[in-house]
Amino acid sequence: MADTSPKPTLPDRLTDAAFRVVLALARALPYERRVPLAGWIVSRLVAPLAGWRRRIRENLALVCPDLPPGEVRRLVRAVPDNVGRTMIELYSGDDFLARVRDLPIAGPGAGALAAAHAAGRPVILATGHFGNYDVARAALIARGYRVGALYRPMKNPLFNAHYLDAISTIGTPLFPRGKPGMAAMVRFLKSGGMLGLLMDQHMRHGAATTFFGHTAFTATSAADLALRYGAEIVPVYGVRRADGINFDIVTEAPIPRTDPETMTQAINDSLERIARWHMDQWFWIHRRWK
């Protein structure tokens, strides 16, 4: 069969080479220095070049127009800093796992997760690009929970290969978006697995829900799967502490079973609540409102 995978372009190769250099430099440092350094590099160097600062300002102006200018300036720096920290954490393998594997699972959803695990019932772990979204997955897997995740392959095939390797170190199975990945994901969920889904990306054909008071088209897939296969939806977040390198795992009560649009809006509302409490930890770089 012919190889139909995308071939890396010259920009792909240059971007990947630059990333590998930064990664090698950061990995040479102790974890406590590595994480803040990666945050600084992304905040101070990558974000201006990538146009992230402008996009953060635009998103905040749209949905939080009353934010004081000083807070906007803080978020323009702090949001990419969290992105950089998350990136290097995911590439830190055993160092990252050692930090998060024994974290308590707090909040009203913790009991539901434990009960579902004991009974072998399926659960959808609804989260978003907030804090570090793989903290809860790592901690649950370390407890013996069967946790898989859906991921979107990167456009840069070189970057995608080592990114997939990095997040696989945290745990498997991982399911790529697309028909083959979806089929395997459904089989895993039906078998009683727990499935992590990032719910905060713009989906052109999604439901016209709201997020921060503005229309944000959102996939109803979590609710559709939950209703079809009898799974609970539990919102789960890895919240970065003030020290910048440690976390709390916070859960909310399971989403009530109603209809796909109502359940999807409840997921959005959950993420909005925690994002409002920790504005610098949500991925304001997203083109969430279109």
| Per-residue pLDDT tens over the stretch 139-193 | 999 999 999 999 888 888 887 888 889 999 999 999 998 888 889 999 999 999 9
| Per-residue pLDDT tens over the stretch 59-99 | 999 999 999 999 999 999 999 999 999 999 999 999 999 99
Look at residue 9 and tell me whether its pLDDT is greater than 90: no
pLDDT score for 4? 55
pLDDT score for 1? 43
Answer with the residue of higher pLDDT: 257 or 18: 257
| Per-residue pLDDT tens over the stretch 230-289 | 999 999 999 999 999 999 999 999 999 999 999 999 999 999 999 999 999 999 999 999
pLDDT score for 34? 96
Average pLDDT value over all residues in the chain: 94
pLDDT score for 125? 98
- The C-alpha angle 261, 265, 270, rounded to 5 degrees, equals 150
Q: How confident is the model at residue 25 (pLDDT cuts 50, 70, 90)?
A: confident
Q: How confident is the model at residue 7 (pLDDT cuts 50, 70, 90)?
A: confident
Q: Residue 245: how many CB atoms within 10 A of its CB?
A: 17
pLDDT score for 207? 97
Residues 44, 77: Cα–Cα separation, whole Å: 7
As beta bridge partners, residue 14 has none
pLDDT score for 8? 82
- Three-state SS letters, the chain: CCCCCCCCCHHHHHHHHHHHHHHHHHHCCCHHHHHHHHHHHHHHHHHHHHCHHHHHHHHHHHHCCCCCHHHHHHHHHHHHHHHHHHHHHHCCCHHHHHHHCCCCEECCCHHHHHHHHHHCCCEEEEECCECCCCHHHHHHHHCCCCEEEEECCCCCHHHHHHHHHHHHHHCCCEEECCHHHHHHHHHHHHCCCEEEEECCCCCCCCEEEEECCEEEEECCHHHHHHHHHCCEEEEEEEEECCCCCCEEEEECCCCCCCCHHHHHHHHHHHHHHHHHHCHHHECCCCCCCC
Amino acid (1-letter code) at residue 2: A
Look at residue 104 and tell me whether its pLDDT is greater than 70: yes
Q: Residue 141: how many CB atoms within 10 A of its CB?
A: 19
Cβ-proximal residues to 176 (8 Å cutoff; 6+ apart), any chain: 150, 151, 152, 153
Which whole number is the average pLDDT over 17-39?
90
Q: How confident is the model at residue 5 (pLDDT cuts 50, 70, 90)?
A: low
pLDDT score for 177? 84
Answer for the pair 34, 88: CB distance below 8 angstroms, yes or no.
yes
Phi, psi of 123 (to 5 degrees): -140, 140
